[in-house]
Amino acid sequence: MNVEEVLANRRSRRDFQNEAISAEQLLQILWAAYGITSPGGLRTTPSAGALYPLEIYAVVGHVEGMESGVYKYIPDGHNVMKTLDKDVRNKLCEAALGQKMVTKAPASVVYSAVFGKMTKRYGERGVKYIYIEVGHAAQNVYLQAEALGLGTCAIGAFTSSKVKQILNLPAKEEPLYLMPIGYYQ
């Protein structure tokens, strides 16, 4: 698809089929979210001061070629590192105020941020920059998912402390967004 088609077709998709996505599709979506695009380390998403405060995780339940669990995206090398060895989609659904699409989707992208990376340089204004950045990254995921024939929906309604606990996020990270990914109805 060309960019115009992807933009015209992009929608928030909340109803997913019970069908696995491939590891290649998931890695392509993670690259679209925050992948490196130049030898200097610039990424698919603009970042104030090129500080890149976001951390990207994949919650995997039904992805061909990947075991269930939680994976952290490593932009340098375009790879993932498993951080939890269990399917946490049901618990994540509870933390997302019972939004069933989190359980039904074969995977979800989760964004967190290290606010100190931005506020150290930009003070309180850095907080705004992080929210802008996560919006850019989420739109990239929407567009990449659509181009792959998949759907997603950005979720901001969740209990942050529960998401943090379920994913065992480091103390310095704050969860910002959940994006279930899958083939839609």
C-alpha to C-alpha distance for 131 and 89, rounded to whole angstroms: 25
Would the pLDDT of 1 be above 90? no
Share of the chain above pLDDT 70, in %: 100
Would you state the pLDDT for residue 11?
93
Evaluate whether 96 touches 161 at the Cβ level (below 8 Å). Answer: no
For 161-185, the pLDDT digits (tens) are 999 999 999 999 999 999 999 999 9
Torsion angle in degrees (nearest 10) through CA of 135, 114, 81, 138: 0
C-alpha to C-alpha distance for 157 and 95, rounded to whole angstroms: 9
For 88-114, the pLDDT digits (tens) are 999 999 999 999 999 999 999 999 999
Return the CATH fold of 3-182: NADH Oxidase (3.40.109)
Evaluate whether 158 touches 96 at the Cβ level (below 8 Å). Answer: yes
Q: Which letter does DSSP use for residue 50 in this model?
A: G
C-alpha to C-alpha distance for 26 and 35, rounded to whole angstroms: 12
The domain limits of the chain are 3-182
For 40-52, the pLDDT digits (tens) are 999 999 999 999 9
Would you state the pLDDT for residue 77?
96
| Token pair belonging to 146 | 């659509």
Would you state the pLDDT for residue 136?
98
For 56-85, the pLDDT digits (tens) are 999 999 999 999 999 999 999 999 999 999
